[in-house]
Structures are given as C-alpha cells and as structure tokens.
Amino acid sequence: MSKMPSMPLPEWVELRESAIHGSGLFAAKPIPRGTRILEYVGERINKTEGYRRAMRQLRRAAKGREGAVYIFEISRRWDLDGNVPWNPARLINHSCQPNCETRIDRGRVWIYSKRRIVPGEELSYDYGYEVDFYQDHPCRCGAPNCVGFIVRRDQWPKLRRLLARSASPTPQACR
Ligand SMILES: [Zn+2]
C-alpha cells in the first residue's frame, strides 16, 4: 500500500491510512513516554525564504488543496521546510489531544512521545498554528476536546471568542 517505498522509517512506527487525514504514522510497538521517536527532517532555509514558503503553503490551504504548513522555526536565523519526500514525520497528523510533541535541539527538530503509546495508536502532535488563519485548517482529530480547527493550544481562548462571535446573531450583546 505504500506510496513512498524509499522512505526509511524508524522501528517505532509504521505508515497507514489515517482516519484523521490521508496517511499517518502509527506505533508499531509500545513506545515509552519521553521517547525520541524520529527526527523531523527537511530543507534548512533562511527566514525570508521560510516566510515566502509558509505564505505559499497557507495560500494553498486557503484554496482547499494541501492543508498543512511545514515550516518550522529552528533558530533566529533559520527555518526548516519539512515538505520533502524524505521526511516521514511530515505525515504525522495534528491532534487537539496529541500523544507526541516536537522539541528543537540545536537546530534539529525531533518528535517525542508525551506519554506511553500503545501499538496501533496514531501519532500526533500540536501543529502550533496561529489562530489568524484558523478557517483554512479545520481539525478532524476526533479528540473529545477537539476545538474544530488546527490552532495552537495557548490560542484556544481567542479561537473560542472568534467562534462565539461568528455564531452569534447579536455579537455586541451584553452578558
Ligand atoms: Zn482537533
């Protein structure tokens, strides 16, 4: 079934169809909490180029094509574009209740488990998107606490205000 035959995968994970979106990475065996599962690799680019590519990826998302933005800030000078075929970590989906997280260590990005993960569980992390473009990134993670859009956790209160405002016929109503 693999569409990416030459992509090396670490022993922890396998590629499968995802209920969230497209393909995903799944635990191939029990993964202890705090495991460095795989590196998020890509092309190192400067900030100007990183900004340009992030905007291009956002525009594609706005047109309903490919929904993700793959640019990571790895330092004050450099960004990382993970949208390359040799980066299996780009297939990890976002979740509002993720079991993994990214950590940046000396310019390299790693996917770590936040808790113990059982075999067959899909890996996920918080994509950390700003709330500004939330409408272009609907979330289908299925978590009980899903906010409906891919937005970084610390901006959920702002997202909830925006959603309440757009749903309310009388946005200025007092409470
Ligand atoms: Zn969600």
What fold does the segment set 13-167 form as a domain? Beta-clip-like (2.170.270)
Distance (Å) from CA 77 to ligand 1 centroid = 31
Distance (Å) from CA 122 to ligand 1 centroid = 14
Distance (Å) from CA 147 to ligand 1 centroid = 5
The predicted-structure confidence for 6-27, as pLDDT tens digits, reads as follows: 567 899 999 999 888 788 999 9
Of 170 and 158, the one with more pLDDT: 158
* 24 membership: H or E segment, kind and range: strand 23-27
Distance (Å) from CA 100 to ligand 1 centroid = 14
Torsion of CA 69, 85, 88, 55, to 10 degrees: -10
What local confidence, expressed as pLDDT, does residue 174 receive? 53
The predicted-structure confidence for 48-92, as pLDDT tens digits, reads as follows: 999 999 888 888 878 876 667 899 999 999 999 999 999 999 999
Is the model's pTM score more than 0.95?
Answer: no
Distance (Å) from CA 141 to ligand 1 centroid = 4
Q: What value does the mean pLDDT of the chain take? A: 89
* 40 membership: H or E segment, kind and range: strand 36-40
What local confidence, expressed as pLDDT, does residue 6 receive? 56
Give the long-range contacts of residues 100-104, CB within 8 A, separation 24 or more.
100/37, 100/124, 100/125, 101/125, 101/126, 102/40, 102/72, 102/128, 104/72, 104/74
